[in-house]
Structure 1
Amino acid sequence: MDKYYSPSGKFDPKAILYFILISVIAMPLLGLAYSYAIWYIPIIYLNFLIAGAVGFAIAWLISKFVIKLGKVRNKALAVIFALLASIIALYSSWVVWADLVINMGESYGTSRIGITASNVDVNQLYILATNPATLFELIANINEYGTWGIKSTTVSGTILTIIWIIEALLIIGVTLLLTNGSRVPFCELSNKWFESKNLPPFNVVENRGELIKAIESGDPTAFDTLALVTKADQDHSVFTLFSSSNNENYLTVNNMKGKFNKDGELEFDDTLLVENIYINNELKNKLVNVKDIITPTLDSEETIIEDKIITE
């Protein structure tokens, strides 16, 4: 048995069908929503946040409906799907945005901030979408003159190009970063993803090397130092157990160390200690029974934190 899970590189051919459906239905709709949002929200900083949200949405759709349903265990293919989906969404947004420019109406607001009414024309959308040369020529012309400004100064040329590049990189980057590419183990015998379970939070793992060495060797004392945490602001570790119907198990461990941000709110820095390491049944049973062996006294005003690691 390998000490760490390694994706087989296989995938269900239906993944390609799922990707096509997502690409022709969901991605154009995301592009439409994104273009309307940045058109009617005249605050450039919020536009960057919207771009990141679009990347998150693309990553979720690809992870949920292409990688998971299509049983994609190929990291390179997962990246290709994510990259292509983000490009399709971006292209769709350019089509919609360019058409909004064509159909610009009256402007409302002040010299410092305002919006221009507009709406798309379906026939124009089709022409722009099916004629990339025409679309990019129009975009180049728009770039030369600009359509909006900051403090009465119209943004165009190089500055506008840089802003467009940043927004595109945000969408593509967030998509690639968050797309779940075979990070969840897959059982080839049962042809199913492993079931994942977040165990109750334990104390922080102080010695990463010792923990990994003990798990790799099947040392029955590997988890002897674990205890359940009792306070919401306490540093802790998150153990995510992956189990298959064929009695195989893998473990991912993260340390979560708390700190207060500038607003005085508690946040946790997430540090990955080990990902998808094989764990034998003896260690698995001992780990899941730690909560039965050690029963802490809980503060009535605080609850044990339940941190969730995104797994699909």
Structure 2
Amino acid sequence: MEHLYYKPSGKIPVKGIFISIITAFVITVILSIIYIALQWFIPFIYLNFFIAAGLGFGVGAGVFIAIGLGKIRNTKYECVLAALCGLLAWYSQWALFVSLMSEAKGSMGGGMWVRSSFNLTGFWYILTNPEILFKAMLSLNDAGTFTLKHNTVSGTLLWLVWIIEAVIIIGAPMLFSLSGRSTSPFSEQNDQWMEERELEEKLKTVTDPDQMIAELNSGNLKSLKDFLPADDLSDDYATLRIYESPGDPVSYISVTNISHIADKKGELKKETKPVIEYFRITTALN
């Protein structure tokens, strides 16, 4: 019964294409600049993995925003845009890095430079001439760009580091897009994304998801009103989120089980487990 769950219409507004591409590309370039700035001024190579992950997921978030502004309801389009932005982020940060290296002075050793200056002309030249960029990468690989335990990292090991970096920067946005904006409920009637709200009341933990789904399939919404008493302080419960748009007779709901489990230190850790997601209903829920 796939029709009982939200499924994106697949629509790609012409205007939305321009809005999404421009927005996503601008955000991507800005994040790439921030990425290089962090790498340049934070001389801790062990943090590079987290900085790269930050860039990757930041680009993914940028695509999420861009898809929302463009009102794109096509998951394949979002995935392709995420891949393009990932490639743009990887390429533009390299172009910026190489342009800064060409202006760098005062070596600190191991590929760290005391100072440099941004040259827009030089950056644009490298950005628009891939062959120059790749030649520079070969030279940098031979010389090394950082040290590890007082040894300059170059050659095969440095290529491996760069490949891992590229996989993170390009792959993270694509991973982010799998549950991106285009998968969220959209009101075709009102031409807008549905508003999301979570009921303040807590539902009893759903112990039999299949039974709840069967009841909802039959039109029985009783399980969605099985709230815990207001004075119940239990750490285990379920939440109900509603997606709706004014005047649209169709809305969607998601139910998530929330539990708190003690870790080895005895501290409670919150765990969430989706029960149902984007189930279609036509009956008002307050």
Same fold (TM over 0.5): yes
Matches of 1:96 and 1:181 in 2, distance apart? 30
Partner of 1:294: none
Matches of 1:162 and 1:24 in 2, distance apart? 27
Deviation digits for residues 268-306 of structure 1, max 9, x if unmatched?
22222211111231xx43xx3xxxxxxxxxxxxxxxxxx
Kindly state the Cα deviation for residue 63 of structure 1 after the two structures are TM-superposed. Answer: 1.4
Partner of 1:22: 23
Partner of 2:259: 257
8 Å contact from structure 2 (residues 99, 122) kept in 1: yes
Q: Aligned match of 1:171 in 169, 173, 176? A: 169
After TM superposition, the structure 1 = structure 2 runs for residues 18-97 of structure 1, keeping only pairs within 5 Å, are 18-64=19-65, 66-97=66-97
8 Å contact from structure 1 (residues 59, 82) kept in 2: yes
8 Å contact from structure 2 (residues 252, 280) kept in 1: yes
Matches of 1:30 and 1:216 in 2, distance apart? 45
Matches of 1:118 and 1:231 in 2, distance apart? 61
**Percent identity of the aligned residues?**
31
**AA paired with 1:43?**
F
* Residues 1:223 and 1:31: Cα distance change in structure 2 (over 3 Å): closer
* Residues 1:264 and 1:94: Cα distance change in structure 2 (over 3 Å): farther
Matches of 2:116 and 2:265 in 1, distance apart? 39
8 Å contact from structure 2 (residues 25, 85) kept in 1: no
Where structure 2 has 5 or more consecutive residues not aligned to the other structure, the ranges are none
Partner of 2:274: 272
Kindly state the Cα deviation for residue 261 of structure 1 after the two structures are TM-superposed. Answer: 5.2
Matches of 2:10 and 2:90 in 1, distance apart? 28
* Residues 1:5 and 1:154: Cα distance change in structure 2 (over 3 Å): same
Matches of 1:272 and 1:255 in 2, distance apart? 6
Where structure 1 has 5 or more consecutive residues not aligned to the other structure, the ranges are 289-312
Relative to its length, the structure with more helix (as a share) is 2
How many residues in Structure 1 have an aligned counterpart in Structure 2?
A: 281
Matches of 2:227 and 2:234 in 1, distance apart? 18
- Let me know the Cα RMSD of the aligned residues: 2.6
Matches of 1:145 and 1:232 in 2, distance apart? 62
Kindly state the Cα deviation for residue 119 of structure 1 after the two structures are TM-superposed. Answer: 3.0
Q: Aligned match of 1:136 in 114, 130, 134? A: 134
Q: Secondary structure at the residue paired with 2:173? A: helix
TM-score normalised per structure 1 = 0.81
